[in-house]
Every structure is written in C-alpha cells, then in structure tokens.
C-alpha cells in the first residue's frame, strides 16, 4: 500500500519522538558507588612503608595514589594524626599538623584517595608516618566502611608490631584493667589475654571510659609509642569507640579445664607446637594477692637445654629416664617432655621470685577430696648453680582472685626445692583442703616460687611433669 508522503513523514517523526522519550526515561546503568579498586591504578602502603630505610625519605615524583580506609577516630588520637589501612593489609599514620581542618574527609570509616606526592615517609616515636600533605591531597570516595579486623593474640600483636602498626586487630577473651592514675590527657589501661598484656591509652577528649573486667573481644588499631628519653617501645592497641569493646566472656584466663572422669593428667609431651594444654599457663610476678602476668613460652627444643642460662619458661627434656650427663642431642630428641623455667634475678622476665605454673579448673561441682600428684624436677648440670629455690602449692577461687592460700605443709609429701646443682626428679603429692571441694566457680592451683632464692651465683632450672588430678 502506497501512503502519501506527508503520512510517511509524520510516522517517522513520531518514531523519533518515542525514541527520544525512551532515552529521557532511561535509568543509570552500572555501579553507582566508588570505582572498583584496581591495584594497577594505585600504589599500596606496603610499598610506601618500604621507602623508609632508617632515615626520612621523600616520596618519589609521580608516585601513584593510595586508596585506603581511615581506621582511627581523631578524638582519641593526637591532634593532626589519622591512621589509614589499605587492601594490602598494611597501615600508616598520616600526620597533617594540628592546623588541619578538613576533618570531614578523614572520619573513621571514610575511604579516601591520597595523593602522596610531595610527602615524606619517616618515623615519629617509633611509628611509621607520612607527613607534609595538605587538604588538597585527599579525595573522599566512600563513607562508613568497616575494615575487617585481624584476629590475633596479644603476643602476636607485640611480635608483629612494626608490620601491623596502624592496622585494625581484634583480641578475644581479654581482661581490662586500669593502669596507674589518670593524667590530664587520659588514662592507660592494660589489655590482657592468655598470651600477655598490651596497653591502650584513652584520651580524656574522646569521652570514652572503658569497662574494666572481662571482655569477649577488644578491637582497635595497633600503635607504637617510643620514649624519647629511654628509647623503650611500648606496643599499644587504641580503641576508636566504646563499641570496640564487647564485655563478658571468660576473660584473659579462659574457662579452664573440666574435671570429667578421674584422673585428669598433663604429661606435656605435645608442647612442642607452642601451645600449652587448655587451662594451663605460665606466669611471672606471682604473689599471694595476684596470679601473676602471662609469660612467654619457648617451645623450641634445641634452645631449651638444661645447661642454658637464658631466662624463661621452656620445653625441656624430662628428667625421667635421663641423668645429669645426658648430652644435648639426646635432650633435643627426647619425646618425654617437661614444662620448666630457668630463673634469673630480673623480676619481670626471670621469675625470682614470682615464677608460677598455673592450672585453672573450670569448677569442682560435685567433686570432693581433690588431689594433685606431679614430678618436680631440678635440672641443674652447671657447677656454678649455687642457689636454691623453694616452691609452694597454693589455690584460689573465682574469676580474678586476689587471695591465694597455701596448702598446709601437712597436706604435702615430697621435696619442694630445686637448684644448688642438684639433678633430681621428686614425686610430690598434694591433698587440697575441703575449701576447694564442690565449688561452682573457677579453682586456681599454682606451683609457684613466692620467696627469693637463697645462696649465691647462678639460679637454677626447674620443671614439672606428669601432673595428675584425682578426686571422688
């Protein structure tokens, strides 16, 4: 059918109008958030940190930008300081000076692009930072991003302090306690888990008051404080908001071990993996009013020889079946192991006095006449070990006890001394008083040295093995 030309033209105009109308109603296509991160378009903080080799380093010209997330809250950080963490899992401190006012771009959770050209990479108080940037260096990309924290122990944070500085970590099952009196600027707290203690400093300007006691978890960014007078480094984990602390849980000491079927035994033959049995810990600074601070444990057999004088708790060859003249190779290869300690006179690391082997029982509900048998071993092979250490067995009740009670001497058989160049394997048997029976709370048992060693010259090495709890 042949249509008049004006009808054909009218139909064409109508079609064009419909197409134009559809184009006007079309919704945006593609992502509406920040551009996807591409490593090719950015440098990372691992590379930036590598610029520092002991002296301040200028950022090379034409260095690519960083894309990172702000992981600090400026109200709980020194003025002008901001912490950022990127996709590489590394972090750094940005020092922008106390006069920096464009703080909206750098709020906790903001994703920012940072042009670091013109900046300098260096250290301040031991912590890595970029300085020399101004407000024009930052472009805000997104808001309210939550960085997934690295779950770690206190010991792991301390051991990785430089690699993890300015990154977010989460420490589980901790106990929080104030440390010293508050100052005009803020309050220190000790955060303790089963592996050790680390400090957090809360500034008065932040308005944060941490709950003390047990917490299920404690989250914050890793920070370093180095004294300008002594050079001593203090590792820290700094909270951002009160929600960084989740109260409750078993705390630093865990739930302890349960008394299922009698007996419960600990032979320590598997401590070469670096882990002590559940409910067992080693402590320094033990006193009658405190369980003591968690101590490091060296599980490596070739550095845990009887004759070595390095202080600390170690994985020793058990004295059972061996003698004073056993050579080093035999000690290293021995499958029968013992949990021991080499004491020195430095209280914080050497344990004279205050070294303790600690056993935490979840409860003694329905359990009576609790007994403990163990081997107390004196592993001294050097001629200049002339000090004698006296051990006690004591107990306490509750989550965080402040009173330990010694088991009466009449309830203990065996010799509770080590040292003075004695190589021995003493069988100890302990009958606990009725006060520990049928308790629906935690029961602490310690084998500890609470008085200084006696004698002169070097201190000895002692160990425990084949610990056995029985009851009825």
Give pLDDT tens digits for 189-221: 999 887 888 999 999 999 999 999 999 999 999
Q: Is residue 27 part of a domain?
A: no
End-to-end CA distance of the chain: 108
pLDDT at 33: 54
Within 10 Å of residue 37's Cβ, how many Cβ atoms?
13
Within 10 Å of residue 344's Cβ, how many Cβ atoms?
15
Q: Is residue 380 part of a domain?
A: yes
Pair 210, 130 in one domain: no
Bridge partners of residue 114, in order along the sequence = 66, 138
Pair 276, 242 in one domain: no
* Phi, then psi, of 383 in degrees rounded to 5: -70, -20
**pLDDT-based confidence at residue 35 (cuts at 50, 70, 90):** low
- Region 214-231 average pLDDT: 93
Q: Is residue 50 part of a domain?
A: yes
Strand ranges for 96-252 from DSSP E: 111-114, 120-124, 127-131, 138-142, 150-151, 168-179, 186-193, 196-203, 213-226, 233-238, 245-247
- Name the 3-class secondary structure at 60: coil
- Region 417-438 average pLDDT: 97
Q: Is residue 212 part of a domain?
A: yes
pLDDT at 15: 45
pLDDT at 383: 84
For residue 2, pLDDT beyond 60: no
Pair 221, 368 in one domain: no
**pLDDT-based confidence at residue 348 (cuts at 50, 70, 90):** low
Lowest mean pLDDT among 221-230, 235-244, 404-413: 221-230
Pair 305, 433 in one domain: yes
User: Do the Cβ atoms of 80 and 100 come closer than 8 Å?
Assistant: yes
Give pLDDT tens digits for 40-72: 789 999 999 999 999 999 999 999 999 999 999
User: Do the Cβ atoms of 462 and 391 come closer than 8 Å?
Assistant: yes
Bridge partners of residue 341, in order along the sequence = 313, 462
Within 10 Å of residue 71's Cβ, how many Cβ atoms?
25
Query: In Å, how far are 271, 292, 420, 463 from 357, measured between CA atoms?
Result: 14, 10, 21, 9
pLDDT at 247: 94
Tokens linked to 171: 């420490």
Separation CA 213–CA 399 (nearest Å):
10
Q: Is residue 322 part of a domain?
A: yes
Pair 399, 300 in one domain: yes
Residue 98: CATH number of its domain: 2.40.50.140
Residue 429 is part of which domain span? Answer: 264-470
Pair 331, 456 in one domain: yes
DSSP state of 125: T
**pLDDT-based confidence at residue 36 (cuts at 50, 70, 90):** low
The C-alpha angle 374, 380, 386, rounded to 5 degrees, equals 115
1 contacts: CB under 8 Å, gap ≥ 6: none
Give exposure, 427-461, as e/b (b: 16+ Cβ within 10 Å): ebebbbeeebbebeebbbbbbbbbeebeeeebbbb
Separation CA 35–CA 319 (nearest Å):
65
pLDDT at 34: 57
User: Would you say the C-alpha torsion 329, 330, 333, 337 has a positive or negative sign?
Assistant: negative
Bridge partners of residue 95, in order along the sequence = 81, 131
User: Do the Cβ atoms of 439 and 432 come closer than 8 Å?
Assistant: no
Q: Is residue 30 part of a domain?
A: no
pLDDT at 19: 42
pLDDT at 32: 52
For residue 223, pLDDT beyond 60: yes
- Name the 3-class secondary structure at 155: helix
Pair 396, 465 in one domain: yes
Rg value, the chain, Cα: 31
Beta strand 461-470 pairing with 405-406: unpaired
Give pLDDT tens digits for 130-173: 999 999 999 999 999 999 999 999 989 999 999 999 999 999 99
**pLDDT-based confidence at residue 20 (cuts at 50, 70, 90):** very low
Separation CA 236–CA 180 (nearest Å):
16
Which residue, of 194, 221, 247, is where some domain finishes? Answer: 247
How many folded domains does the chain comprise? 3
pLDDT at 23: 46
Which residue, of 90, 118, 142, is where some domain finishes? Answer: 142
- What is the H or E stretch that residue 313 is in? strand 312-317
Give pLDDT tens digits for 349-386: 678 999 999 999 999 999 999 999 999 999 998 888 99
Pair 223, 361 in one domain: no
Pair 281, 327 in one domain: yes
Which residue, of 219, 247, 275, is where some domain finishes? Answer: 247
**pLDDT-based confidence at residue 347 (cuts at 50, 70, 90):** low
Give pLDDT tens digits for 454-467: 998 899 999 999 99
Residue 429: CATH number of its domain: 2.60.120.260
Pair 122, 168 in one domain: no
Q: Is residue 258 part of a domain?
A: no
Pair 84, 129 in one domain: yes
Find how far residue 346's CA is from the centre of its chain. 23
Q: Is residue 253 part of a domain?
A: no
- Region 112-118 average pLDDT: 97
Pair 228, 273 in one domain: no
Please provide the average confidence, as pLDDT, over all residues in the chain.
90
């Amino acid at each position: 059918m042949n249509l008049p030309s004006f009808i054909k033209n009218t139909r064409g105009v109508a079609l064009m109008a419909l197409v134009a109308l559809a184009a006007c109603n079309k919704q945006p296509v593609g992502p509406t958030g920040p551009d996807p991160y591409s490593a090719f378009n950015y440098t990372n903080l691992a590379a930036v940190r590598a610029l520092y080799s002991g002296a301040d380093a200028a950022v090379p010209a034409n260095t690519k930008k960083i894309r990172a997330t702000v992981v600090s809250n400026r109200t709980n950080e020194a003025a002008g300081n901001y912490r950022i963490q990127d996709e590489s899992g590394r972090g750094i401190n940005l020092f922008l000076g106390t006069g920096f006012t464009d703080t909206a771009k750098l709020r906790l959770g903001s994703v920012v692009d940072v042009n670091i050209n013109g900046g300098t990479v260096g250290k301040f108080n031991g912590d890595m930072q970029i300085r020399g940037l101004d407000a024009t260096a930052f472009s805000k990309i997104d808001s309210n991003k939550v960085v997934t924290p690295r779950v770690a122990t206190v010991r792991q944070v301390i051991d990785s302090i430089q690699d993890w500085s300015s990154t977010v970590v989460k420490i589980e099952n901790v106990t929080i306690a104030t440390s010293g009196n508050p100052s005009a600027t803020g309050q220190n707290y000790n955060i303790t888990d089963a592996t050790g203690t680390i400090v957090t400093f809360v500034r008065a300007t932040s308005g944060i008051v941490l709950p003390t006691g047990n917490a299920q978890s404690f989250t914050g960014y890793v920070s370093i404080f180095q004294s300008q007078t002594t050079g001593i480094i203090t590792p820290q984990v700094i909270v951002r908001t009160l929600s960084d602390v989740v109260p409750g849980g078993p705390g630093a000491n865990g739930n302890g071990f349960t008394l299922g079927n009698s007996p419960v035994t600990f032979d320590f033959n598997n401590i070469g993996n670096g882990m002590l049995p559940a409910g067992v810990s080693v402590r320094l600074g033990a006193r009658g009013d405190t369980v003591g601070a968690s101590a490091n444990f060296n599980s490596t057999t070739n550095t845990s020889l009887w004759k070595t004088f390095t202080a600390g708790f170690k994985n020793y060859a058990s004295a059972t079946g061996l003698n004073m003249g056993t050579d080093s190779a035999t000690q290293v290869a021995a499958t029968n192991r013992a949990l021991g300690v080499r004491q020195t006179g430095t209280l914080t690391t050497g344990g004279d006095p205050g070294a303790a082997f600690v056993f935490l029982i979840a409860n003694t509900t329905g359990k009576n006449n609790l007994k403990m048998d163990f081997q107390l071993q004196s592993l001294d092979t050097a001629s200049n070990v002339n000090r004698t250490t006296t051990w006690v067995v004591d107990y306490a009740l509750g989550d965080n006890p402040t009173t330990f009670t010694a088991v009466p001497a009449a309830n203990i058989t065996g010799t509770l001394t080590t040292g003075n160049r004695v190589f021995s394997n003493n069988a100890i048997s302990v009958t606990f008083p009725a006060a520990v029976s049928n308790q629906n709370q935690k029961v602490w048992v310690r084998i500890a040295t609470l008085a200084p060693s006696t004698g002169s010259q070097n201190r000895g090495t002692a160990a425990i093995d084949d610990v056995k709890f029985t009851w009825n």
